[in-house]
Structure 1
């Protein structure tokens, strides 16, 4: 470890506060405008097709860019990639705000905006995942990832309310400008106050093509059996989670009725659960073996999915939705930390890129399977079936010797 890296790790608490603060500000502005765009399209068009198109524009660029962005995160300065992504989104939002003020408010501009934001997210996600081990000592990664999960949960809870209030009080253009300001503050914080040395690969002259680097990343995954089995588990898990993630609002409308407040209630219950889960994993740290923690959280989510399919009382339904939220950070945190600890730094961006491809593609694939079926089979039956399979998947995870071995804690440095 060189002198700069040593000082960075010595001041890790100050640095992570700066980093998470900048990301919180940026994410809050993005979340507010995300809801504002979605609701604006809903109010302007009242079209399910338009909403579907907006959602597609919001995830396909991330999926397509993830492999390239993973290579970038390994080749280049990760901090500057995060700044570049935030800056690109801010400039696009500023242009959109000016166009709207000039009277050019065609709906297709919002679809373009959704695609640009997804493009920026595709660049940013692997860079953020890969930069944390440069800032934080490995034995603190679980606490930091847990804290980050809690912050994201708070934003998920607050941003819809803020967005709704702003839409009622002001125009969509003002919300656009607010997003530009939050991005500018985040960029300034990272650029001026946070010093992160280049990782080793970024200091070398790049002699290989992007495709060659991506291929090397896939070979790295293929040569490490725990990564192959880890990603296979994630792919199956995300497909099984699709009904719980996307069909529960439709289920509540069909089975419980009651209008918008019940839909808002399930979002709030899930977000509050995520806040609690982030605190739990941040203070507890999980089992010594991260795979056991991952399996435990998977089991809870499987049980909750089954419960969502059978409980007849809405308040009990809300309780299980909150418990589902509690399990999410307990699932996500050890998954991220496992990669951050076990994957070589030079390949970390590409491995997170592969994970990004899986996370952005498997749930939509799940919806292509379960969405049409939901018009012919009760959603309760889909939740019951996918919940049972998730429980079985969690049991298989606990029995997987390769992953259990990979999940063991690192030996502490003397």
Structure 2
């Protein structure tokens, strides 16, 4: 397996890695938005949209535990490339079937599920690979740049997906996804890494999986972070799942209102991501995470009371401005505090804790939105997230102090 034991030319290697992931991610996002909107426009069914949401999340959660073991056992670069290739292959097959006139909706669910599984394999591999390539003192800035590139893709992808769906066929979106995957894989193949030494005794996948869970249990700071995130993101689910429904009910059935709200959030995350990337080191990562939890609680608690769509967009943009600090801080915290041979498994379990919250939140808060006014759901979950942020900061005070001491030595 590969890893850099030396950080010589690390800037070129991380540049290739981030560029390859951004190109591939953009194509996948465009295709993903186009598929979900195609299903929505063709069926007009909330049930089918729920199916699409579950297909887009559950496979990633299921495969993540195995993916973490693979990322610690095998070549991380090739594992990420293989996942990308698999997604591209399924997408190409889907384009061929559509060209033959076979357009059953269940095929699109299979595509979303395959992409979700591929992302579940790719994500822990890439996050661990970043820690392999980048010196510890530069991890915050690099993670900030990566999150900014992701936010920019999220800003542009819906617009591109809408243009493709309005003016071309869904096959065009599939073709774009395949082309960007090929470009991304080609760029990633140029990354040269040194052999990563692995002194572990090879065991079964199940044994290594259990060893990863035991390792997390013995790391109270990492375990506490995961538990806090599980609660936080379940409470954040109404903001992502119910926002379109709230906009339609509160401000009118206008597609542009939905577009503006998405753009406002994405624009805020892009600007916030740039600001985070400009800061070379985030010293108080635990404090930064708690800060974003509290800000999100305030923002999404108030958003239901925005008198106009313009105020709604302003509040969304402010929330987006603060949010990039969260993934940058948590990813760096894990990369700096987890041994390399456990990195993949820790990131995979972390992905499970976060990924499982979307279907759980959807199943719980979706029906609740038909029983009570959504603004009260926003307010209640917002207040609870403020409490979660305060409790997290208090409970992690010892580890926060230890982290800050690293920069005083």
Partner of 2:383: 388
1:282-297 equivalent positions in 2, closer than 5 A = 282-285=277-280, 288-297=283-292
Task: Tell me which moved more, 210-219 or 103-112.
Answer: 103-112
Partner of 1:269: 264
Cα offset for 1:179?
Answer: 1.1
1:95-114 equivalent positions in 2, closer than 5 A = 95-114=93-112
Whole-angstrom distance in 2 between the partners of 1:99 and 1:197: 42
Change (3 A) 1:315 1:233: same
Partner of 1:5: 5
Per the normalisation by structure 1, the TM-score is: 0.94
Partner of 1:221: 216
Per-residue displacement from partner, 1:172-213 (whole Å, max 9, x unpaired)? 22221221111011111111x211234333xx5752100100
Q: 1:84 aligns with which of 82, 85, 99?
A: 82
Note if 1:195 corresponds to 2:200.
Answer: no
Partner of 2:52: 54
Note if 1:404 corresponds to 2:390.
Answer: no
Partner of 2:305: 310
Task: Tell me which moved more, 67-76 or 386-395.
Answer: 386-395
Change (3 A) 1:108 1:36: same
Change (3 A) 1:389 1:106: same
> Which consecutive residues of structure 2, in runs of 5 or more, have no partner in the other structure?
none
Whole-angstrom distance in 2 between the partners of 1:200 and 1:412: 31
Paired residues of 1:33 and 1:163 also in contact (CA < 8 A): yes
Per the normalisation by structure 2, the TM-score is: 0.95
1:108-123 equivalent positions in 2, closer than 5 A = 108-123=106-121
Note if 1:280 corresponds to 2:278.
Answer: no
Note if 1:242 corresponds to 2:237.
Answer: yes
SS at match of 1:197: coil
SS at match of 1:10: coil
Q: 2:171 aligns with which of 141, 152, 173?
A: 173
Change (3 A) 1:366 1:286: farther
Partner of 1:146: 144
Whole-angstrom distance in 2 between the partners of 1:177 and 1:412: 52
**May I ask how many residue pairs the two structures share in their alignment?**
407
Cα offset for 1:5?
Answer: 2.5
Cα offset for 1:102?
Answer: 1.7
Partner of 2:128: 130
Per-residue displacement from partner, 1:8-49 (whole Å, max 9, x unpaired)? x12121111111110111001101100111121122222222
Partner of 2:182: 184
Paired residues of 1:286 and 1:293 also in contact (CA < 8 A): no
Paired residues of 2:268 and 2:317 also in contact (CA < 8 A): yes
Per-residue displacement from partner, 1:313-364 (whole Å, max 9, x unpaired)? 3212211100111121111110000000000110010000111101110232
Cα offset for 1:292?
Answer: 0.8
